[in-house]
Amino acid sequence: MIVNSNPQLSQKTLRLWDRDVCEIFLAPDAQVPERYFEFEVSPMGEWIDLAINLKPEGRQTDFEFDSGMSTATTVDGTQLTLAMEIPWSIHLPKPKKGDVWRANLFRCVGVGDDRYLAWQPTYAPEPNFHVPEVFGWLEFL
């Protein structure tokens, strides 16, 4: 595993995406998928939460965004369990029945280009998870 040998669990870990990590991207307004949130957790329990806005001139990332998320992880031999709790807020309002969000799930493990796995592949020429127009649909029933 590519992890931090001295994980910092009390604050977000910048550049966490350079190590082994699982991520969820959520765009609560399906009409504006270029405004979304990124949540990551590592096998060691490190985490980061970001608010992102894709614009024609490039990606704007709010590193100060604070969702109040918490994480839990368990490593048992070759089995890894990761969990994130992301509270409802003004940014991520509790969905109502029938709401539809854009979402995607990603995993990065090891090294090289085949370390990436996506629920909805982005088919970008270089590994890139920031392609909200190909995110899947999350419908609340």
- What are the pLDDT digits (tens) for 94-109? 999 999 999 999 988 8
Asked whether residue 47 carries a pLDDT value surpassing 80, the answer given is yes
Tokens of 46: 């490190």
* Predicted local distance difference test score (pLDDT) of residue 1: 62
User: Domains (ranges, CATH) in the chain?
Assistant: 16-139 (2.60.40.1190)
Instruction: State how far the Cα of 31 lies from the Cα of 14, in Å rounded to an integer.
Output: 29
* Predicted local distance difference test score (pLDDT) of residue 11: 92
Asked whether residue 125 carries a pLDDT value surpassing 90, the answer given is no
Least confident of 16-20, 22-26, 37-41, 72-76: 16-20
Instruction: State how far the Cα of 44 lies from the Cα of 57, in Å rounded to an integer.
Output: 35
Of 18 and 82, more confident: 82
Residue indicated by tokens 């991207």: 25
- What are the pLDDT digits (tens) for 106-119? 988 877 767 788 89
* Predicted local distance difference test score (pLDDT) of residue 72: 94
Asked whether residue 4 carries a pLDDT value surpassing 80, the answer given is no
**Residue 72's CB: how many other CB atoms inside 10 A?**
11
Alpha helices in the chain (DSSP H): none
Asked whether residue 88 carries a pLDDT value surpassing 90, the answer given is yes
Instruction: State how far the Cα of 112 lies from the Cα of 32, in Å rounded to an integer.
Output: 32
Instruction: State how far the Cα of 13 lies from the Cα of 15, in Å rounded to an integer.
Output: 6
